[in-house]
Structure 1
């Protein structure tokens, strides 16, 4: 089997920021708190929910907030979410070339699979790995879990945040940072990915 290419999900393959933000704001309101500004929520996307809520409401009931978020998000997770340009075409080409393709995301496994199914992403991938019961990125655990399931050596980690890049490096993969997600090019440069790009075209050149 050829090497594996691992992708982050939110901010890398799919533009899901608005759905995540709306669900986050709604959970705050449902718990009797003011909704944080959209831009402030967006800046935290990719971190675990508990960390996100703690940033705004450190003294609130985190379990209740997370439950409210998940209840709303499960029903409304793809209202605004769309694929970034070229994503499905790139996955199709890479799969046709024999690469194993996986998602490694901070989302819970069940939620990651739900979103992927609703968007029609699942057939393009060999595995969808969420984070549950082990450390989140920038620790490499979720990448190792994906590669273990694939039974394939890892080649590239593709993501939109410094946590993705650091996790990929820690897992021994080359790192490909995209500029259309949560972190800007300037921020991504601080962790020195192998590639920073504003499209996936270079990935195809690097994976013949």
Structure 2
């Protein structure tokens, strides 16, 4: 079988923080709720409904808030988003090694796809709306032997799928937090991923 490598999206492959701040602040202005865009962008990872509950948004308003954020997203977030250093090279390294690329993200799938298209990322398959151990379903279905992410939730997902868990320090979590959550290796950024992929013998041993 061909090697499949999975990647998280926010703060692993892309940096959407400026747009996330603007979108959440716009939602706050429209609703009058105390939604903190700066805090939200500094702690990306959990699904939007979890974030809104953390801001103590009324439970009965969560569905409408999620829907409105998703409406705002394409025009406010996507144009402000950039690929993180090493992202294109990491995806290409998988291709160069005969593998396929899979993005598994907690983000709403259609909006995640807009980022992939806008930044011309070499992604073969994208699955959205999965978080933490929930990501294991997609990783297992697509036979991912490696999963790369910036959040402890990503490490939990990789472990649940029996995939090699690769952490990157471009998100909100420290090296210690990622290791404690089960990371097999932690890289400073995706810039170090191609060399790791080429040199780690365990990757091919885990191909499914």
> Would you call these one fold, judging by a TM-score over 0.5?
yes
Match of 1:196 among 166, 186, 203: 186
CA distance in 2, matches of 1:142, 1:157: 10
Where does residue 46 of structure 2 map in the other structure?
47
Where does residue 109 of structure 2 map in the other structure?
109
> Scaled by the length of structure 2, what TM-score is found?
0.86
2:128 equivalent to 1:126: no
Where does residue 147 of structure 2 map in the other structure?
157
Gaps of 5+ in 2: 199-208
Q: CA RMSD in A?
A: 1.9
Displacement of 1:109 after TM fit?
Answer: 1.6
Where does residue 138 of structure 1 map in the other structure?
132
Partners of 2:20 and 2:37 within 8 A in 1: no
Displacement of 1:143 after TM fit?
Answer: 4.0
Partners of 2:22 and 2:76 within 8 A in 1: no
The 5 Å alignment of 1:77-116 reads 77-116=77-116
CA distance in 1, matches of 2:72, 2:12: 23
2:159 equivalent to 1:169: yes
Displacement of 1:79 after TM fit?
Answer: 2.7
> Scaled by the length of structure 1, what TM-score is found?
0.86
Q: Secondary structure at the residue paired with 2:78?
A: coil
Partners of 1:28 and 1:65 within 8 A in 2: no
Where does residue 205 of structure 2 map in the other structure?
none
Match of 1:182 among 172, 179, 183: 172
Gaps of 5+ in 1: none
Alignment size in residue pairs: 197
Partners of 1:156 and 1:168 within 8 A in 2: yes
CA distance in 1, matches of 2:37, 2:176: 23
CA, structure 1 residues 192+143, in 2 after alignment: closer, same or farther (shift >3 Å)? closer
Structure with the larger helix share:
2
